[in-house]
Amino acid sequence: MKILFTTESYYPIIDGGAIAQHRIVHELMNRGHDVRVIAPSFSFKNIVEDDNGSTIYRPRAFLLPFYMNNKYHFSPFPLVSVKKIIDRFKPDVINVCSPYPISICAMIWAKKKHIPLVGSIHILPENVLAPFFTSSFYPTMVRYIWSYLVYFYNRVDWATVPTKTGATMYKEKGMKTPVTPISNGVNTALFKPTNKGEYLRARFNIPKKPLVLYTGRINQEKNIDVLVKAIPKVIKVVDAHFLFCGSGSLKPEMMKLTKQLGIQAHTTFIDFLDWEDYPNIYTLADVFVMPAESELQSIVTLEAIASGVPPVVVNKGAVPELTSARNGLVFEPKNSSQLATHIITILSDNTLQNSMKEKSLKLSQQHAIQYIGSHYEQVYEKVLGFLEKG
């Protein structure tokens, strides 16, 4: 099958959607499909790249300044470029992954050329509007973004979303398109409890104590302050250390907060790791925390459970689904005290911790990337069948 993915956020950008799309593209390639991607260039030039056998077409784009650490680019007029790529590649299916210009243009040509169109949902309004979180217009902007997202995904033949919770969210907002929940998936051959991470402990001078881990962007919508404010209560009971692995606009502020709370000696902040090191950082952890409230799944939480790390996650959005096997605990939004109590509960009980580890590993097998690939194939076969019947 010839499959064309279109997106505004793709490898090597680090965010949930970009990582999920990259993984599924390569899994579909491993299953014998010809898969290509259109994503913005990192300059104002049209570029074609090879990514381990997958072709990435990058139409010229410009940087979005001051937005999300200056890592996103925007293709302003890709209509002609997208048409040329579609005409040359002749895909059997087009899978749009973001509601922005490249995917809008792909949608236009898919409709004109009667090519089946799948829409993969990786976004909530809160993700788009993170830089405007404190604005008085934020609630109004959220409503408008929801309206647009539903409008966009109502124009595909079939939709995918990482979780049942995500599917319910979109349906409640008015999406009528058939939707299949398909996990973002995790490479369980890469993220596993047998990885060796002690060299990272030495590299970053992380003490040999019970370790609580957060990985991901350190931005407003991730609510990292909720975790930081839980630390004083935890260390009164358990001599634990807290590792923050990632970067973002709020990182300096969070480091300053640890100083104000007098907990610097119990925290370590490091940047995103290279891919050869990154999976190994999870093996140092005894607990993983995800305080973000606007998650359609949470790839980093998937990586944690695949590594056998019990998660403590906020009871909002879709991320609680990753504790459905009683492999972790949930805390109420912005409740640092309850979060601290849950961390203490796990760190203080080796039997509970080991039980949660085993349950996490078992749950992660349901999200193994090889199974996710077959689910995407089933969706593509459905839309191809609908087109033939039509």
Give the domain CATH number at 136.
Answer: 3.40.50.2000
Q: Is there a domain that residue 44 lies in?
A: yes
Same domain membership, residue 267 and residue 176: no
| Alpha helices per DSSP H over 213-318 | 224-237, 251-260, 278-281, 299-306
Report yes or no on 190 lying in a domain.
no
pLDDT value at residue 220:
87
Q: Are 216 and 247 in contact (CB under 8 A)?
A: no
- Do residues 18 and 111 both lie within one domain? yes
More confident residue, 334 or 129: 334
Q: Judge if 249 and 160 occupy the same domain.
A: no
- Asked if 19 and 96 sit in the same domain, the reply is yes
Domains in the chain: how many in total?
A: 2
Burial of residue 208 (number of CB atoms within 10 Å: 0-12, 13-18, 19+): exposed
DSSP, collapsed to helix, strand or coil, labels residue 309 as: coil
249 and 260 in a common domain: yes
pLDDT at 70 over 60: no
Same domain, 214 and 283: yes
Predicted local confidence at residue 124, as pLDDT: 93
pLDDT digit string (tens) for 39-56? 999 999 999 999 999 999
Position 58 confidence tier, pLDDT thresholds 50, 70, 90: very high
**Whole domain around residue 223: which residue ranges?**
198-367
Domain presence at residue 287: yes
Q: Each residue of 232-281: pLDDT tens digit? A: 999 999 999 999 999 988 999 999 999 999 999 999 999 999 989 999 99
**Do residue 137 and residue 19 come from a single domain?**
yes
